[in-house]
Structure 1
Amino acid sequence: MLNKKEEISLSKFMTKILRHTPQEYGIVLESRDGSCPTAALLQAVRSRPKWKAVTMEEIEQVVRNSDKQRFEIIGDRIRARYGHSHQKLSYEPGQPPDVLYHGTNMFVLQEILAEGIRPMGRQYVHLSEGLHFASLAGQRRGQLVILAVDTRKAHEQGTQFYYAGNEVWLADEVPADCCSPLETALNP
């Protein structure tokens, strides 16, 4: 059983492998859903001295306890649900709720309000059904700002939404006029 610090460290390592640099660790992700065999991930993790004794149960612990539910195990396969930078995964288009939320920071607010939300170094823009996940994502880099996204208006302008699971939605980009900052986020 991992302690909280070890769990966070292993989660970050798994994120690196499954979302950003799988090839560095000999992992080939299925292009359809970004998954790989759990046995292959376990072998890749164990290839590092720090993690040579990690067990499948500890990987399952990380998956189960991830605050953003980053990972998913289905049968004998594991995947990162979203956040990939190495290849663009395909997701089925879906019908999101009328409003989704995007967590960001005050530093980029004016740029977003002028140009919209873009994926930056990721393959998709990440949006959430609730404020919790938006807050987790946005508070990492400065003063938190939460944007409400009018999904109907965005869809009318050609934005396609994809459900990644666990309240997370993805889009290629979101037009600026579909985004509005929540007042409570600007005036805590």
Structure 2
Amino acid sequence: MIRKCNEHGCFRGEVCPCCDSNGDFILDDDREDRLGRFISGALRHFPEKLELPMYIDGWVSINALAVAAAKKYKWPKKYHIYALVESDEKGRYEIAGGKIRARYGHSIDVILNYPLYDGEFAYYGVSPEEVDIILEQGIRPVKQKYLHLSTTLEKAIEVATVHTENPSIFKIDVKTAIDDGLNVMVVNNDILLTDEIPAEYILEIYE
């Protein structure tokens, strides 16, 4: 559920986490889920199916997205999109200058332009069965435009356990990779994006 606190903006749940206000109703759970799935698909996977013009860096007009959403479900308004983005704790989307884009998760061909990461290490989790081939071939994206790395070991474990029960986690020398010319971008506190990580930058494995 999405509600809006007059003082602290949109939030998910029954009460504002900042002041315990109930706020004003925006979307119920079902419509929040449906609109979220629609926006994810539109901005990450199939804008062309919706005849949604997209810039090469992933931006689309928020007005055009609102029109496309209303054609699909009838009820969405532009303020519903703003509320969904503002209340999203994972920071999956960004809005600027009347445009919106997904920060990560694209399967379509986009060229994102986030700053280079200034940390030393990154982490990436896989199933134990994948370890040997990655040590030989490096880490490459699967079904996505960019490879998604985690900034912490804890986050890498959290992400990997969605796909495998006992993940193996690679520690990656991102600083050296960037010094050698690899483009490793920071999206938010948890996620980095890059084209690939050659095996030479893998430092150790946590199992």
- Structure 1 length-normalised TM: 0.80
How many residues are aligned here?
A: 180
In angstroms, what is the RMSD of aligned CA positions? 2.4
1:89-128 equivalences in 2 (<5 Å): 89-91=111-113, 94-128=116-150
Which has a greater percent of helix? Answer: 1
1:140 matched residue in structure 2: 162
1:69 matched residue in structure 2: 91
* Cα drift, residue 105 of structure 1: 3.5
* 1:60 corresponds to which of 77, 82, 92: 82
* Cα drift, residue 165 of structure 1: 4.1
* Cα drift, residue 77 of structure 1: 0.8
* Residue type of the alignment partner of 2:173: D
Gaps of 5+ in 1: none
2:69 matched residue in structure 1: 45
**Looking at CA atoms only, which structure, 1 or 2, has the larger radius of gyration?**
2
The answer on 1:178 being equivalent to 2:205 is: no
Partner-residue secondary structure (3-state), 2:196: coil
* Cα drift, residue 39 of structure 1: 0.8
The answer on 1:162 being equivalent to 2:182 is: no
Partner-residue secondary structure (3-state), 1:61: helix
* Cα drift, residue 124 of structure 1: 1.4
- Runs of 4+ displaced beyond 6 Å: none
- Structure 2 length-normalised TM: 0.74
Gaps of 5+ in 2: 1-25
Percentage of pairs with the same residue: 30
* 1:20 corresponds to which of 36, 45, 49: 45
Aligned equivalents of 1:132, 1:61: Cα separation in 2: 29
